[in-house]
A and B are shown apart, each in its own frame.
Chain A
Amino acid sequence: NAGVTQTPKFQVLKTGQSMTLQCAQDMNHEYMSWYRQDPGMGLRLIHYSVGAGITDQGEVPNGYNVSRSTTEDFPLRLLSAAPSQTSVYFCASKEGAWGTEAFFGQGTRLTVV
């Protein structure tokens, strides 16, 4: 059971480039989300999804797009990377509305130069 898998683990982008951070879970969880972690600020919610075809914005959604075409996958897209998006990104999943615990991927460290 792999849990939540994020790829890549590290990435360096130039300003203006685009890329997609991948997230996949094999636990058949309905809920998936993306967080960014910055020094001194904890984890902040970017976007989340309560099921295939349903997404919504979190606390810091600007500059990011998401889609949820399958239960398993929840990619995060940066259309035009900016230095302010340098951060560690975490994907998390949770079992349905009453599931308590969130399971996290190992994170992606993204640097935008």
Chain B
Amino acid sequence: AQTVTQSQPEMSVQEAETVTLSCTYDTSESDYYLFWYKQPPSRQMILVIRQEAYKQQNATENRFSVNFQKAAKSFSLKISDSQLGDAAMYFCAYRSDFSGTYKYIFGTGTRLKVLA
């Protein structure tokens, strides 16, 4: 069975600085997707970024980028130029690439605080 581990329950960053959130996963599959979701106080789950395992290039979305290390099964999220609006709970998630598979497996989350 696949597992996702987020070992940092809480992180803090100064406004305008850079922070990296860690995520490791365990799987025997070779094809899969990895995601980072943001959950602000409103509870809405917002997709931040996704990575296809077959792609070697790390995904980027504006100030958000990932460091995907497939062999190490590591998938960290880097937030550059942190803003107050980045304060939220961040979840790392895994999904298999097999047809018909719908189960997302989530980590326990990292609460990010942004200090003014």
Contact = CB atoms under 8 A, between A and B. Distances in A.
Contact of B50 (A94, A101, A109): A101
A42 B95 CA distance: 15
A42 B45 contact: no
A106 B102 contact: no
Contacts of A109: 43
Contact of B103 (A45, A97, A107): A45
Interface residues of B, number: 22
Interface of A is mostly: strand
A44 B95 CA distance: 13
Interface in A75-113: 88, 90, 92, 94, 97-98, 100-102, 104, 106-107, 109
Interface string B80-100: 000000000001000100011
B56 interface: no
Contact of A33 (B4, B102, B108): B102
Given A42-B108, A42-B109, A106-B42, A94 B102 contact: yes
Contacts of A98: 99
Nearest to A48: B102
A42 B43 contact: no
B91 A88 contact: no
Max chain A Cβ within 10 angstroms of own Cβ: one of B43, B100, B103, B109? B43
B100 A97 contact: yes
Contacts of B106: 35, 42-44
A53 interface: no
Contacts of A41: 108
Nearest to A98: B99
Contact of B43 (A31, A58, A97, A106): A106
